[in-house]
Structure formats: structure tokens, C-alpha cells
Amino acid sequence: MDKNAKMTDSKSTDIDYFYLMLKNWKTIFLSCLFFLLLGLSFIFFSPKLHTAKATFSVALKNEINTAYGIYELKTINPINYLTVIEQNQFKDNVLEKTGNQSESGVSFEVEEEKLAFDPKSTDLAPPNKFDLIVTGTDKEKLVEISSVVLSTFLESADNNFKKDIYNKFSSELKIKIDNLQFDIQIKEKLIADLNEALDKNTKITSEKSGINELYDNRLINSLEGGERGLIISMMLNGEKGSQYYYKSVISHEEVQLKALTTDLGRQKLLLSKLIESNENGTLSNLFNLPFSSNYYLLTSPEVKQISSFSSNLKRILIFVFIGFFISTSVVLVRSYYVLKSK
């Protein structure tokens, strides 16, 4: 068979296939219509997506003043804390609390307020207004889920801050207590040495050379201007001045020891109260927590149905295409085997 004959047969075959499709147009049309109705039924009976939108405000401050000191926040942009809401673990926890573990297609999203700012300005103010959008098919439960999302987040954020604040101040108090105990030991040793020297009735001369040496003495160096002058004047009184010197220094050191002991007792009391509050779960009574004290619900969750015209149209077109593909394939394959059998 020459080349022209082959081209003629190929064209005839193409015309035959096209003719077969035209000849069986009713079958193809009915198949497409069936799949069109099937797609419409799927869209009609499938659950509709709804959203529950709640708006709230959070304005964080740089630091928290407490009786234990100042706690500085690592960041004052609330969105850095709110991102936890979109995590799967958080979503599973909320659905478990509300008894909706079997719900599929539920999602949480946080949108921050769009701020208009001067591009030339270097000061970027963090947003303080946010929208919580909960998406799901059961519109009756979305309001409850939205409320639980916010309460769970606040509880979680507060617990994280309480844990961090507790760790910070408890460690600082333990360091202060260790330092005070060390200072008290040094003071007690110094007072013991002074009492021992006083019992031996140590004499200190009032010569010029002796006075110069006193300026390097650890007792004199521990005193300040007016007190140092008073002690040196006592030493100029001869033998009794030496006793006055030791008695005065001992009294001075005992006063300082008393102050250190009082401060140590105060720090221990603060630490014990902090530990007790942590064990009892009452740390919120000691600290002004950032989110609890700066959170405001502006609008309650509002449920709306999601407009899905474009997505539904795509689904219908896909169903019709599947129907067209299956019907044409069946018609062409069947006709091919019929012709082949002849």
C-alpha cells in the first residue's frame, strides 16, 4: 500500500470515529446528564462549610512589675503567641474538650489587624486587634468551639507566663539567699575575731605610723568616712581607746549582721510564698499576667456560610467531564471491537 493510500485510510478511520460519536450522541449526552445530576446531588447533600468569626483585642506591655521584681516580656507582638492556635495539637485539644473529636474539616485561623503606617518611620507598632475564624460543617457547634478556643488559649498563655515568671524569680531568690548566707558567714567570722581580740585586750598604739597601718586594716577599710574618723579618734585615747575601738566596730558589724539576717529571712519568706503559690496554683494572685489583664472580647462569634459558587462550579464541570470521558471511551472501544470482529 502506498503512502497516499495509507493517509486515505487514516482519514477514513478518523471520520468513522467522529461519525460514531455523532451517531451515539444520545448515549454520550445521557451519560453527561447523569453525571451532571450526580454532581448536583453531591453538592446539594454534602455538608456546607460555615465560619464563626470572633474579634478580640490584646495590647501587651513591655514589662510586669511585681513584688519580686520586674519581668520583661520577650516580645510584645501578640501574634507571636497567637500562632499556637493554628497548630494541630492545639486544635485536637480543643475538639477533645468540646467532644467533637470525630469532626473533620475543622480549622482555626487568626488574622491580625492591618495597620497603616508611615514607611519612613522606624517605629513599628504591633497590632492589637485580631479575628479568630473557626471553619467547620456543623454550624451549631462552631460558636461553642470558638469560645473554647479563646478560653483554652488564654489558659495556656497564662500557664506559660506563670511558669516562666516562677522560674525567673525563684532562681533569682535562690541566688540572693546563697549570697546573703555567704555574707552572713563572713560577718560572723569577723565578729568572732573581734571578740577574740577584745578578750585578749589587744593594744593599738596611737603613733603616726600605727595610724597609717590602720588605714590598711580590714576593719577600718570596711567603714565609711564618718565612721572611720570616729574609730580613729577613739584609738587616739590610748589603751581605753583600743577597747572602745573594738567595741564600736563589733557593734557596727553586729548591726550589719542583723540587717543581713533580716534580709535573709525576708528573701526566704518570699521564696517560700512563691513555691507555695506555685504548688497551690495561685500564682495569678501574685502576678498581673499579660493576656488575662489585657484581653478584651470585642465581638462574639458570628456564624456565616462560606460562599462556594466557584468551587461548586468546578466540581460540576469535573463530574460532566468524567461522564463525557467514560461515555465516549465506552462507545469508541465497543465500536472498535465490533469493526474488528467483522
Q: What is the pLDDT of residues 18-71, one digit of tens each?
A: 777 777 788 888 888 888 888 877 777 666 778 889 999 988 888 888 888 888
> What is the maximum alpha-carbon separation in the chain?
144
Give the three cell numbers for residue 156.
Answer: 495556656
Q: Are residues 227 and 181 in the same domain?
A: yes
Rounded Cα distance between 90 and 104, Å, is 15
Q: Are residues 97 and 192 in the same domain?
A: no
For 268, the domain range is 174-279
Q: Are residues 63 and 156 in the same domain?
A: yes
Give the CA radius of gyration of the chain.
43
Question: What single DSSP character describes residue 45?
Answer: H
Q: What is the pTM of this model?
A: 0.62
Question: What single DSSP character describes residue 333?
Answer: H
Q: Are residues 132 and 227 in the same domain?
A: no
Rounded Cα distance between 193 and 267, Å, is 28
Q: Tens digits of per-residue pLDDT, 132-174?
A: 998 888 778 888 888 999 999 998 888 888 899 999 999 999 9
Q: Which long-range contacts (CB under 8 A, 24 or more apart) does 259-262 make?
A: 260/180, 260/183, 260/184, 260/187, 261/184
Q: Are residues 179 and 249 in the same domain?
A: yes
Q: Round the average pLDDT of the chain to a whole number and report it.
A: 77
In total, how many domains does the chain have? 2
pLDDT at 211 over 80: no
Nearest to 170 by CA among 272, 289, 41: 272
> Does residue 342 form part of some domain?
no
Q: Are residues 269 and 205 in the same domain?
A: yes
Q: Are residues 90 and 68 in the same domain?
A: yes
